[in-house]
Structure 1
Amino acid sequence: MVFKCQENSFLKEFTTKVLSCEEVKQNIIIINGKKEKVEGYEVILEDTIIFPEGGGQPCDHGYLNEIPVKHVVRKQDTALHYVNQSFNIGDSVKQTVDWQRRFDHMQQHSGQHLITAIIDREFKFPTLSWWLGEEVSYVELVKVYTKDTPEEQLKEARSARGLPVDHKGDIRVIIIEDVESNMCCGTHVQNLSQLQVIKLLRAEKNKNKTLLYFLVGNRVINRLDTCIDREQKLTVLLKKEAEPDFMNMFIKELGITSIFLFLSTGDENSIGNIVLYGEEKAVSDLGDKVCKLLEGKGAGKGNRFQAKVSKMINRKIAELCIGDYFK
């Protein structure tokens, strides 16, 4: 059976009828390749737009009326929906799909088909399997066919994109014009332009196989946003200019006035801040002189003089002035 979600992957809502609803207790199903226990009700509908897990693609999330669908799996030509509330046979239910998750999975799955086809055509590396992860996906590549490649591995690669053992009904073929045509049960975009962008992240060797990690579409954009945000935050943390608060903290931590300090922030082409700190007489004698050399405005009290200055390019001259004072 070809489900409604496969006929039209862009359908977000769909009304159908309940064919079966049975209570389940600790039923064992396969979720993302692992056995898990589920409880609640197992619902079979006339048709579904909520994709059941298969072909390396996780199931969709969505609702039957207002009730969340916990998981969907395929069993032969039917889709089993697991929910926490029962329905009566013959009930009309409105299905709503989690569109953000659906479109993300469509981008990743169609992107995987394109990556697989190009790598196979250009480098002769067949895809053995693939995995659609929550953040990153990968294709598992057979490194190369040689006379030393085990026969079982060759058979596995040749049948990797074949039909499930329990398949019944129509066969669905996904075609990328002039690139590939393959049997597939997953949901896909209508045009390659909807992929937006593909980013190959890294390749990891694993015995005779290679895992190629990738991102497609909005995942690339979101990753770029994260990287830019992190870069901006690091720039703020690592920028070379020290703040006046840093100078004040430095003086406080030093805690002595027997050493004369001339501290400044800013480079030659910017407005800066200065602090003179030391014995009261030296600070009083030098404060206004240094401030004038650097074309600033400031004031002093006791053993500290601080100012905001506009000509940091004269810092060396100010240092010579201070040096001459202590000769």
Structure 2
Amino acid sequence: MSGRLVIARCHGALSLQDGGRRGYQRYGLSGSGAMDRLAMATANVLVGNAPDAPVLELGFGGGRFVVEAGRGWFACAGAPCTLRIDGAPLTGHRTATLAEGAELIVDPPREGAFAYLAVAGGFEAGAVLGSVSLHLRAGIGGADGRLFQAGDHLTFATAEGNTPGDRTTDAVPLDRDAPIRVMLGPQADRFPQGGIDTLLGSTFTVSHRADRMGYQLDGPAIAHGEGGYNIVSDATVMGSIQVPGNGLPIVLMADRQTTGGYPKIATVISADLRRLAQSRPGDPIRFEAVTLATAREAALRRQRDIADLPGRIRPLGGFDAERLLGANLAGHAVDALREGP
């Protein structure tokens, strides 16, 4: 039996996303998928889904949703938002049941850019090339190849047989003050040392032209080498930092083109893509070059973060003995029998 969630109001970019499409870049179609994979996984695991099950991605905005039929368990994770169920405030990173007729309001995030709404059992949608993810420029997935708008609806598995209960978890923090880690290349040799120094020694800001295809950055122009800013088009990945003719870097994201003719000075490591994705226009961005070994270690740590999510889920308001025993309850206690300070 399926439930029905109606989108009564939305602003920003509201779309259906999952783990993305794989194996189609050679045909010119990038993978798309959630911009913050860890936040998507957190929302899904809270309600008992697979980490990459379909979710609603709320980009740079919020929405008002009404359960028109059925009953389901929902969870929201990612950018911190104020949630209200029938007017009652609710914290994020926890589950909540929405009965038929219930209204859920998700306010725009207080910081960050992307929040994720998951339902136990998953949203039901037809996959295109193995994924339900909206790829807006390709016109596939999501709501018939477009963003959701008021009046659209989604079907979901009802709570019968999908009852995770009241559960919560701690958000994986974002170190917003740390630089975004990159590996130089693959065309770093097309830039003079001064251009590399500009990339690594300057503070950029996220432009208002940032979207799921790419985050354009404002700041000092990066100088090109004698070869100029045109190259024979070659492959891109999520995190490629292109430098076009104006010298202002563009970090390619989930809906990027699969090839590009601007030189790529560096590539954001996969573990830091979520920190970049959760930046909003005007936020400062700094880069730091790291080694392949550091990038690989960070990627493995991120995989462990997702694999460990089920173990970090705990009952809401319940007594978690294992968590209690692992806590430092004594803090900075000292020997009471000792004299002196």
Same fold (TM over 0.5): no
Choose between structure 1 and 2 for higher RCO, CA contacts under 8 A separated by at least 6 residues. 2
The structure that is helix-richer by fraction is 1
The structure that is strand-richer by fraction is 1
- Higher Rg of the two aligned structures: 1
Q: TM-score range by the shorter chain?
A: under 0.3
